[in-house]
């Protein structure tokens, strides 16, 4: 039920989309410039594939589909990410990052939200390195 509520909340945002998708080359340039990368997948997903080096694992949706927007935002703030700081989101295939990124942009006023095009699956398909999640 929560998933349906969340989707109904985010579906209009998904249609107006302010999140910019970065291809692999653009993504790599951004991380060299020390742009924060936040992996919003679940711990199970991190353990399964590993994570991109220097990315911050910070779950948005729990395994059961639940979420806590305020806790997520508080953790971003603790990392020093405010509404004016660039932020790149990563998930499995860029579906969740699109929804979360659009929400951050359109509802919360984050000005520079990006996502890795195709998500971690795209990263893996390009034989890019991952580190083990502990």
What percent of the chain is modeled with pLDDT above 90?
77
Inter-CA distances, 94 with 42, 75, 129, 130, Å: 14, 21, 18, 17
Q: Minimal CA–CA distance to 39: which of 21, 22, 53? A: 53
Q: What digits encode the pLDDT tens for the residues 50-99?
A: 999 999 999 999 888 899 999 999 999 998 888 999 999 999 999 999 99
Task: Please tell me the predicted confidence (pLDDT) of residue 77.
Answer: 92
Residues 6 or more apart from 14 whose CB is under 8 A from it? Answer: 98, 99, 102
pLDDT in the model for residue 82: 87
Determine which helix (DSSP H) or strand (DSSP E) holds 36, and give its type and residue range. strand 36-39
């Amino acid at each position: 039920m929560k998933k349906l509520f969340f989707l109904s909340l985010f579906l209009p945002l998904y249609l107006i989309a302010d999140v910019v998708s970065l291809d692999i080359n653009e993504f790599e340039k951004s991380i060299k410039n020390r742009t924060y990368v936040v992996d919003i997948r679940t711990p199970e997903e991190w353990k399964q594939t590993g994570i991109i080096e220097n990315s911050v694992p910070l779950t948005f949706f729990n395994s059961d589909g639940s979420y806590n927007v305020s806790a997520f935002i508080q953790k971003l703030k603790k990392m020093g990410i405010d509404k004016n700081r660039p932020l790149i989101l990563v998930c499995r295939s860029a579906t969740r990052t699109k929804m979360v990124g659009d929400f951050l942009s359109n509802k919360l006023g984050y000005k520079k939200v990006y996502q890795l095009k195709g998500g971690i699956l795209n990263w893996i398909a390009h034989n890019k390195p991952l580190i083990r999640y502990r």
